[in-house]
Each structure stands twice: as structure tokens, then as C-alpha cells.
């Protein structure tokens, strides 16, 4: 059991807390620190999605209030990814973080499958660094600054600087606190236009919102429904939800500009098979990188906060009323059902409507206009009408 554990600073990434522990413990070898923290010397010190957190929490001093859930939500990048993961993947990652990660957690999560590379080294804002030192007497690795796609500090309107500390791979079993950061003393000058900078600030704010709100995985069909609704508002999709792909790609590219999209490895061009933008608005059961969702939300006019609060106006079954197929009723085949309850099919790909008529007739379908369904319903209605005679 540890005799002390540093209190995490606001938005401090767990790796940074552990690095401060290492320094204060006076241990020379990081292996000794690993053993003290996790009871094992083979644990890899992963920055974004660390594992073995159950063991860590078990080893904390008796009065410590930290829980695995709290550490994951407040001091790792898990909440950055979680809303956009398939539920089973999210669970897999969460469990890998609690216990033992067999193999690479990123590969398993499909995070690496995306063409969007994670930052190679830990990053910092020079102004945050100075302020931390004034306020706390030391600085720390800020969680927000380590998220892929966060290139600026939105509090200080600065570009983040690369430190000399590798974010993955190289220091597998080491702890390097932000105070020992051997960052380039010269400030990195980035030449990006005012518009690009504005978008980068907005993205950083969105990532911060995600990190602070710990959303559970959102069913991909629900995201698509909101996207569709907003695309319809922008006249980039027909009212029936058919997306005008070429126009979408064109408007999206000119909204963000090539510079920004290149910087974030999120270039789009129409007709390319790997065009993520066309794919993300299609029906799919595939995870897309959080950044790409955030880009699409901003393009559709929403910061993450308002997007997730949005009530969707997209109606998968159009406007009612809908027909009743009760052959025994006088209103057979007449549009008399005013309300539909929308749920999701088991694989979460399709909206499933449950139509309940005042006569007591209830039917569920993914498409009330489908002729095969109507034929069957008519047949059933005839059968039930005949049996009543
Ligand atoms: Zn800053
Ligand atoms: Zn009816």
C-alpha cells in the first residue's frame, strides 16, 4: 500500500500524477515505482488509456477517495473516445483499463484503425506552464493537451508545444513529470491562418466538453439521425434523408479549408473510396474517430454541447398519420394512427416504429411504406376479417 499519493490537479492526466508520485517517492528506478503503484513491474505506462487501474486503486492510501470510475472519467482520455465507440468496444476498453490489457488497447479498440495518428509526444501550453508554476509551484501534463486533434490551448490562444517526452512506445516503463520536460526552448511557430486557428480553438473547446461530460457510447443510428436532420436543414439531404454527397464534400471542404483538414489528417475528396465524410453520414455500424464527428458537428453549426442536447427533427417515418391494418376495423388501411414510438432495431442500424391504433391494433416495422409488409398486413387483415364472419 502506498503511504501517500499526490492529489491530481484540475484536468491532470493520470500519467502525470504517477510521474509526480515517482519523483516524490525518491525512487531511482521506475520499476520500483511501478511495483509500488501496480504490484507489477511489467505494466506499461500508457498516457491516454492506462490499464491496471483496479490494482492502482487497491494500493492507494486507506483514506483515498479515488475510484477506478473517477480516475477513468476525470484523468484519462477515455471520455474523449467513449461517445463514439460501439457499445461492445467501449466495454472492452473500459474493462481493459480496469484490469489487464492483453495486447494493445488501441488496436483492440480499433482506434489505430483510423488513419488519424495520435500525437507522438506529450504537449504543453507555455502559458499554462507558467501559470501552473505560479499557482502550484509545479506544472503538470494537462489531459486536454494530449488529445489527438487538440493543437491549441483555447484558454490562452496559443499553439501547443511538443515536449521531449514521447507519448507512446519509447518510455514504456518511465515516468517523466512535466517539470522535467525537455521541450524545445524555442516556441514552435505555426503558420496557420486566422480562420484555421478559429476552427482549432473551437475543436479544443469541443474536446474539453467531451472530456468533462463522460458520455456513454451513443448508438450510431442516433448520431446519423441527428446528422441527417441537420443536413436536411442545410439542404444537403432530401427530406427523405438522401444525402447529396458531392455537394456535402464541397461545402465541408470550403467551410474548413484545406489547411485545417490536412493538419488534422481529415482531407475529403468526392469519389475517393476512403472518403470518411461520405461514410460517416451513411448507415453503418462502424466507429469513426471522435475528431471527425466533432468536425461534422461544427460544420452543421453545432458545438458538441448543443449537438448532444439536440432533439432530432428528422422523422424516420415521415409525418403521420399512418395507416391502420386492422381488417376488422372500419378504418382499415385508412391513415388514422397519429403517434409512432421510435426505437432501434437490434443491430442499431434501423429505426423501428411501433404504431398503435386507438382500435387496439399494434404493428412494428422498420418501414411502413414497404410493399411486402403491406401485402402481408393486408393478407393478415383479410384472414382476421374472414375469421370474424
Ligand atoms: Zn494555456
Ligand atoms: Zn385501427
- Ligand nearest, relative to CA of residue 336: 2
294 Cα to the center of ligand 1, angstroms: 21
234 backbone dihedrals φ, ψ, rounded to 5°: -85, 5
- Cis (ω within 30 of 0) for the bond into 312? no
Residues 348 and 280 in one domain: no
Does residue 35 have a pLDDT over 60?
A: yes
- Ligand nearest, relative to CA of residue 204: 1
User: What number of CA atoms fall less than 13 Å from residue 241's CA on the CB side?
Assistant: 17
Domain end, chosen from 255, 278, 309, is at 309
**Is-contact 196 257, C-beta < 8 A?**
yes
Residue numbers of the domain that contains 329: 322-388
C-alpha 160/C-alpha 243 separation (Å) is 37
- Tell me which of 100-104, 122-126, 321-325 is least confident: 100-104
The whole-number pLDDT of residue 388 equals 47
**Is-contact 14 50, C-beta < 8 A?**
yes
**Is-contact 3 121, C-beta < 8 A?**
no
**Per DSSP, which regions of the chain are E strands?**
121-124, 152-153, 158-159, 161-166, 322-323, 335-337, 340-344, 351-356, 362-365
Domain end, chosen from 246, 275, 309, is at 309
131 Cα to the center of ligand 1, angstroms: 8
C-alpha cell at 36: 509500488
Residues 230 and 282 in one domain: yes
Residues of the chain above pLDDT 70, percent: 81
pLDDT in tens, 79-120: 999 999 888 888 888 998 998 766 666 666 666 555 677 788
Q: Is position 284 within any domain? A: yes
Q: What share of the chain is helix, strand, coil (3-state, %, to 5)?
A: 45, 10, 45
Q: Is position 247 within any domain? A: yes
The whole-number pLDDT of residue 279 equals 87
- Ligand nearest, relative to CA of residue 326: 2
Residues 290 and 332 in one domain: no
Confidence label for 148 from pLDDT (cuts 50, 70 and 90): very high
Residues 329 and 300 in one domain: no
The label of the residue with cell 409525418 reads: 319
Domain end, chosen from 243, 275, 309, is at 309
pLDDT in tens, 281-317: 887 777 888 999 999 999 999 999 999 888 765 567 8
Residues 300 and 353 in one domain: no
C-alpha 112/C-alpha 283 separation (Å) is 22
164 Cα to the center of ligand 1, angstroms: 18
- Ligand nearest, relative to CA of residue 157: 1
- Ligand nearest, relative to CA of residue 159: 1
258 Cα to the center of ligand 1, angstroms: 26
Residues whose Cβ atom is located within 5 A of ion ligand 2 = 324, 326, 329, 357, 359, 361
Does residue 383 have a pLDDT over 70?
A: no
In this prediction the pTM is: 0.79
Name the more confident of 28 and 340.
28
Q: Is position 5 within any domain? A: no
The whole-number pLDDT of residue 138 equals 94
Q: Cβ–Cβ contacts within 10 Å for residue 251, how many?
A: 15
Residues 344 and 304 in one domain: no
Name the more confident of 274 and 180.
180
124 Cα to the center of ligand 1, angstroms: 8
Helices then strands, counting H and E runs in the chain, come out as 16, 9
Residue 97, helix vs strand vs coil: helix
Q: Is the dihedral of CA 250, 255, 259, 260 positive or negative?
A: negative
Average pLDDT for 186-209: 86
259 Cα to the center of ligand 2, angstroms: 58
241 Cα to the center of ligand 2, angstroms: 28
Residues 287 and 327 in one domain: no
Residues 225 and 301 in one domain: yes
Does residue 32 have a pLDDT over 50?
A: yes
Does residue 189 have a pLDDT over 80?
A: no
Average pLDDT for 155-177: 82
The whole-number pLDDT of residue 389 equals 40
Residues 279 and 340 in one domain: no
Q: Is position 181 within any domain? A: no
According to DSSP, the β-strands at 335-337 and 322-323 are: antiparallel
- Ligand nearest, relative to CA of residue 160: 1
The label of the residue with cell 387483415 reads: 381
Q: Within the chain, what is the greatest distance between any pair of CA atoms?
A: 91
Does residue 170 have a pLDDT over 80?
A: no
Residues 339 and 375 in one domain: yes
- Ligand nearest, relative to CA of residue 363: 2
C-alpha cell at 353: 416504429
Residues 339 and 262 in one domain: no
331 Cα to the center of ligand 2, angstroms: 6
The whole-number pLDDT of residue 371 equals 41
Does residue 176 have a pLDDT over 70?
A: yes
> DSSP code of 114?
S
Q: Is position 10 within any domain? A: no
Q: Is position 50 within any domain? A: no
The whole-number pLDDT of residue 341 equals 78
Residues whose Cβ atom is located within 5 A of ion ligand 1 = 125, 127-128, 153, 155-156
Residues 270 and 328 in one domain: no
127 Cα to the center of ligand 1, angstroms: 5
Q: Is position 121 within any domain? A: no
Task: Give how many domains the chain has, as a whole number.
Answer: 2
Exposure class string for 198-223: b at 16+ Cβ within 10 A, else e: ebbbbbbbbbbbbbeeeeebbebbeb
The whole-number pLDDT of residue 171 equals 61
Q: Is position 280 within any domain? A: yes
- Work out the mean pLDDT of the chain and round it to a whole number: 84
The residues facing 335 across adjacent strands are 323
Amino acid at each position: 500500500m502506498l503511504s501517500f499519493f499526490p492529489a491530481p490537479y484540475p484536468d491532470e492526466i493520470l500519467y502525470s500524477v504517477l510521474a509526480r508520485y515517482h519523483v516524490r517517492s525518491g525512487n531511482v528506478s521506475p520499476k520500483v515505482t511501478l511495483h509500488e503503484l501496480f504490484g507489477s513491474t511489467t505494466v506499461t505506462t500508457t498516457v491516454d488509456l492506462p490499464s491496471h487501474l483496479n490494482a492502482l486503486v487497491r494500493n492507494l492510501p486507506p483514506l483515498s477517495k479515488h475510484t477506478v470510475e473517477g480516475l477513468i472519467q476525470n484523468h484519462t482520455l477515455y471520455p474523449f473516445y467513449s461517445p463514439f465507440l460501439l457499445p461492445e468496444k467501449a466495454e472492452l476498453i473500459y474493462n481493459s483499463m480496469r484490469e489487464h490489457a492483453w495486447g494493445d488497447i488501441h488496436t483492440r479498440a480499433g482506434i489505430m484503425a483510423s488513419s488519424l495518428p495520435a500525437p507522438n509526444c506529450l504537449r504543453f501550453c507555455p502559458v499554462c506552464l507558467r501559470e501552473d508554476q505560479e499557482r502550484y509551484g509545479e506544472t503538470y501534463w494537462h489531459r486536454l493537451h494530449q488529445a489527438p486533434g487538440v493543437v491549441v490551448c483555447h484558454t490562452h490562444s496559443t499553439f501547443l508545444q511538443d515536449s521531449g517526452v514521447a507519448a507512446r512506445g519509447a518510455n514504456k516503463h518511465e515516468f517523466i513529470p512535466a517539470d522535467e520536460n525537455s521541450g524545445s526552448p524555442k516556441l514552435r511557430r505555426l503558420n496557420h491562418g486566422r480562420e484555421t486557428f478559429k476552427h482549432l480553438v473551437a475543436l479544443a473547446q469541443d474536446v474539453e466538453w467531451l472530456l468533462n461530460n463522460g458520455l456513454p457510447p451513443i448508438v450510431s443510428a442516433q448520431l446519423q439521425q441527428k446528422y441527417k436532420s441537420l443536413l436536411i436543414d442545410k439542404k444537403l439531404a432530401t427530406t427523405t434523408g438522401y444525402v447529396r454527397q458531392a455537394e456535402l464534400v464541397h461545402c465541408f471542404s470550403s467551410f474548413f479549408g484545406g489547411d485545417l483538414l490536412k493538419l488534422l489528417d481529415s482531407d475529403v475528396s468526392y469519389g475517393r473510396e476512403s472518403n470518411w465524410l461520405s461514410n460517416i453520414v451513411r448507415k453503418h455500424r462502424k466507429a469513426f474517430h471522435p475528431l471527425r464527428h466533432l468536425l461534422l458537428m461544427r460544420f452543421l453549426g453545432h458545438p458538441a454541447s448543443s449537438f448532444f442536447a439536440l432533439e432530432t427533427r428528422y422523422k424516420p417515418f415521415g409525418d403521420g398519420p399512418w395507416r391502420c391494418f386492422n381488417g376488422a376495423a372500419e378504418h382499415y388501411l385508412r391513415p388514422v394512427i397519429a403517434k409512432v414510438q421510435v426505437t432501434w432495431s437490434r443491430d442499431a442500424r434501423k429505426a423501428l416504429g411501433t404504431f398503435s391504433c386507438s382500435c387496439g391494433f399494434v404493428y412494428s416495422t422498420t418501414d411502413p411504406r414497404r410493399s411486402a409488409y403491406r401485402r402481408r398486413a393486408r393478407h393478415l387483415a383479410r384472414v382476421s376479417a374472414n375469421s370474424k364472419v
